[in-house]
A and B are shown apart, each in its own frame.
Chain A
């Protein structure tokens, strides 16, 4: 990054890239994903159609786009084309993106809290719903976790001890190690940076392995599935979307690890690392909320 001493310098170097073909590649990829997924889901009972293959083609294409697009950005950054102002744009952009992710989870937390506070007690006759209760499902017992739905689907509730508790400890620890990696980067201690970042990735992978194990156990031994009424719905949607975000965050961290190995990032210029680290802290915070509202309470 070139820096001149004039005060207007930060305004003069704002980099406006020339034409790029990556956005249209990404647009076509999203189109394939939407059409493929739509076709796949619409034929989910019959196993017909080529939706699955179109979906896979779209995913491959979007991976190609991300690699190419971010590759361009990394090259431009390494060539020193980005000013402080550009860096601020990236930082602000990433912050607001994470905020939008928070709101996505808010929708599902909202559904969970609505079910727990309103819909399940109301089905049990709470408030002014006694008649509805008596007419519709008089056998129904309002409770949370809802292990027996009004129409009689039964399941088991997932306790918070064991795997979920281990996962909480793992993810909290990984947030700490991610922070240490960041501190090491700012102190230009590359050895410690690699060690802490590597450890963070291992913890992230460990979390994912345990979560897969938890899912297998829930499906095979407990009969807790996505279709097990509102308890299973909120359980799998929240932990599932969280797991997807952990997967994405782990991939980001792995990319950062290889960039660190290549000698990228300096103590005062490491937006990408910071973004991955912010993202990681975000999935950690979501997990803590999850742990309390889905598992413990």
Chain B
């Protein structure tokens, strides 16, 4: 679909060269204040982290290929599940979204750059150090964190190994990075929109990042507080999470999930924004129900603050609490249903074509909905007593995070690769990547539902014999899915090195200011803002 060109393209690329003195080599990347450079850094970093966390998932699936203990020690298995989770959440998904925000937000709202460019550089460059610390803790005496990415006390306090302090400080740095990045996004959107772009004229992509950034500013400090209490409980003799001193281990779960539930929406709201961009583009129709999408996103964000205890139904809570959190959680299905309805309604009677970004977006709508429905099942207190801490939960959150968030990130990457690199990716290889991923990811995660319903507990390196067949298939799906992601790496490198030249607007249904500048986007765009009516 490389037919459409856009003549507005050459209007905006003048007058940008007056401070276009970008450095060369490594110094350019370390010292840069340019939102496109920083976006690129975020995206590459998140992909490296995806492969790192993916490698750990391969260790997990290799161990679970057969019942019994064969490849790794149980303690190392625990470290793998923990660090896999931490890396995928804080290292792969979140930085990928921040990278997309960096690249696209200023171009979408007609801003010259992010509002606070130096802070932007700092937000990125502290991340590799944080993950360096986290990963190096795996090689320390006693090993890395082994208490699950949710680091429940007392596993992370009384029973933790020697590296907990490094885990705590690494999380602190990730939190600083997220908060500073989020402040930058909020200020950019509030303050740097082109004249005429009112809030309700912003692309939905911008809206979802705006709301996500607020969630980040509100809950990342709570995570910082939680890890600080874990630190003092472990090393300074406090007893926040120790009943013997008047505290309560359940309090840990309340504070953690007060952060944790908005956190999972931090990882899905931007995905909503992405598919709300790609689906209209390849359907050649306006997004159905724009304003209801804005209100639905805001409602989901609000509700995310009052549902946290649905992660703790079996922990012990007064009945009124269980009912409150159950009904609030189910309420989330309403705005989410509005969204899914709107995406389908956008496609209805549209002139659809199925390029790679669209394929990933359609897969997102279907598979994310499956993840949403299993979430609804988990929301029911009485049945959650059966599902809690089983592979059903693992299936649920991998459907929303892998076929949800990750697929949307792939959709975004394919959609904007021509704008980023100036070259088209190979549609054939892109589709190959999609179909390999789609088939393998369902072999990987769908049987986990059955395993969970049959009672297989999560985070355990061994299992009863009756689970053997499903686990074998899950592992095969896992290896295939892992390998499939290397196709993406190849597609991107090939696109950069030898892709066909891309026009300013390669998708004829695409809308938005980013398509009015040439491909690749000039180093500085919109030094003077465009007019938006």
B235 touches A110 (CB 8 A): no
* Shortest Cβ distance from residue B292 to the other chain A in the assembled complex, whole angstroms: 27
Chain A residues with CB under 8 Å of B191's CB are 85, 88-89, 92
A20 touches B33 (CB 8 A): yes
B117 touches A104 (CB 8 A): no
A20-B121, A30-B176, A89-B115 as given contacts; A100 in contact with B247, CB under 8 Å? no
**Interface residue B125 (Cβ < 8 Å from any Cβ of A):** yes
* Shortest Cβ distance from residue A98 to the other chain B in the assembled complex, whole angstroms: 10
Chief secondary structure at chain B's binding surface: helix
How extensive is the interface on chain A, given as a class? 35 or more
Chain B residues with CB under 8 Å of A146's CB are 246
B246 touches A27 (CB 8 A): no
A114 touches B238 (CB 8 A): no
Partner of A149, one of B27, B246, B250, B251: B246
* Shortest Cβ distance from residue B325 to the other chain A in the assembled complex, whole angstroms: 15
A21-B31, A24-B30, A120-B246 as given contacts; A8 in contact with B195, CB under 8 Å? yes
A233 touches B239 (CB 8 A): yes
A34-B169, A106-B222, A114-B251 as given contacts; A14 in contact with B112, CB under 8 Å? yes
Within 8 A of A (CB), among B41-86: none
Chain A residues with CB under 8 Å of B220's CB are 100, 103
A11-B528, A226-B232 as given contacts; A97 in contact with B183, CB under 8 Å? yes
* Shortest Cβ distance from residue B35 to the other chain A in the assembled complex, whole angstroms: 9
A30 touches B126 (CB 8 A): yes
**Interface residue B240 (Cβ < 8 Å from any Cβ of A):** yes
A107 touches B33 (CB 8 A): no
**Interface residue A153 (Cβ < 8 Å from any Cβ of B):** yes
Chain A residues with CB under 8 Å of B139's CB are none
B244 touches A100 (CB 8 A): no
Instruction: Name the residue of chain B whose CB is nearest to the CB of A108.
Output: B225
A42-B165, A111-B240, A123-B246 as given contacts; A93 in contact with B187, CB under 8 Å? yes
Distance between Cα atoms of A109 and B244 in the complex (Å):
20
Chain B residues with CB under 8 Å of A213's CB are none
A residues apposed to B, CB below 8 Å: 8, 11-12, 14, 16-24, 26-28, 30-31, 33-35, 37-39, 41-42, 44, 69, 85, 88-89, 92-93, 96-97, 99-104, 106-108, 110-111, 114-115, 118-120, 122-123, 127, 136, 146, 149-151, 153, 226-227, 229-233, 237
Within 8 A of A (CB), among B16-50: 19, 21, 23, 27-28, 30-33
A119 touches B226 (CB 8 A): no
A103 touches B126 (CB 8 A): no
Distance between Cα atoms of A30 and B172 in the complex (Å):
10
Chain B residues with CB under 8 Å of A233's CB are 232, 238-240, 245, 247
Chief secondary structure at chain A's binding surface: helix
B192 touches A85 (CB 8 A): yes
* Shortest Cβ distance from residue A151 to the other chain B in the assembled complex, whole angstroms: 4
Chain A residues with CB under 8 Å of B251's CB are 111, 114-115, 118-119
Instruction: Name the residue of chain B whose CB is nearest to the CB of A234.
Output: B240
Give 15 A-B contacts (CB < 8 Å), ordered by A residue: A11-B194, A11-B528, A19-B27, A26-B126, A31-B173, A35-B133, A93-B183, A107-B229, A111-B229, A119-B243, A119-B248, A119-B250, A123-B243, A226-B238, A229-B239
Partner of A18, one of B33, B184, B229: B33
B524 touches A16 (CB 8 A): yes
Chain B residues with CB under 8 Å of A14's CB are 111-113, 192
Q: Which of B30, B111, B121, B243 has the most CB of A within 10 A?
A: B243
B217 touches A99 (CB 8 A): yes
* Shortest Cβ distance from residue B525 to the other chain A in the assembled complex, whole angstroms: 11
* Shortest Cβ distance from residue B197 to the other chain A in the assembled complex, whole angstroms: 12
* Shortest Cβ distance from residue A264 to the other chain B in the assembled complex, whole angstroms: 20
B125 touches A22 (CB 8 A): no
